[in-house]
């Protein structure tokens, strides 16, 4: 739910308090209020199919954003691991703005 709400903020998609309460209920299965009353209130104000499409798009975008961030972090870590494990002549490995220096033949970082 937290990533979905963050994605809505990033995309400028408004989520009402009622939409957030419903999202919390559907994600966690718990609400501090009567779920039937919540559902009745929600159905009186929103088209369920439109809401589900809106949430599905936000979930998809949030998943792709988080996955991309995780892959970028893993790639940077993998790059460092490969370089630190490398015994060959590779002096440096760069990914994005990261440059990982390796000791050269004389022990100095190159």
**Cα–Cα dist 56/36, whole Å:** 23
Could you tell me the pTM of the whole model? 0.60
How many whole angstroms separate alpha carbon 14 and alpha carbon 103? 52
Does residue 31 register a pLDDT over 70? yes
Please say if the pLDDT value at position 37 is more than 90. Answer: yes
The encoded tokens of residue 106 equal 């004389």
Q: What local confidence, expressed as pLDDT, does residue 106 receive?
A: 56
Residue 41 φ/ψ, nearest 5 degrees: -65, -45
Taking the C-alpha atoms of residue 61 and residue 26, their distance in angstroms, rounded to an integer, is: 19
Length of the chain: 110
Q: Which residue has the higher pLDDT, 51 or 86?
A: 51
pLDDT of residue 93: 46
> Any idea which of 17-26, 29-38, 47-56, 79-88 has the lowest mean pLDDT?
79-88
pLDDT in tens, 56-110: 999 899 989 888 887 777 666 654 444 444 444 444 444 444 444 445 555 554 4
What local confidence, expressed as pLDDT, does residue 107 receive?
52
Rg (CA), the chain: 23
CA distances to 16, 58, 78, 92 from 88, in Å: 57, 45, 17, 11
Is 94 within 8 Å of 100 (Cβ atoms)?
A: yes
């Amino acid at each position: 739910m937290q990533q979905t709400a963050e994605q809505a903020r990033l995309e400028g998609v408004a989520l009402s308090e009622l939409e957030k309460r419903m999202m919390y209920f559907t994600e966690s299965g718990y609400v501090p209020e009567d779920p039937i009353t919540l559902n009745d209130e929600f159905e009186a104000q929103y088209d369920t199919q439109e809401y589900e499409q809106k949430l599905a798009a936000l979930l998809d975008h949030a998943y792709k954003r988080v996955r991309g961030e995780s892959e970028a972090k893993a790639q940077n870590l993998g790059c460092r691991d490969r370089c630190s494990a490398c015994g060959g002549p590779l002096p440096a490995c760069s990914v994005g703005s990261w440059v990982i220096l390796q000791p050269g033949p004389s022990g100095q970082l190159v």
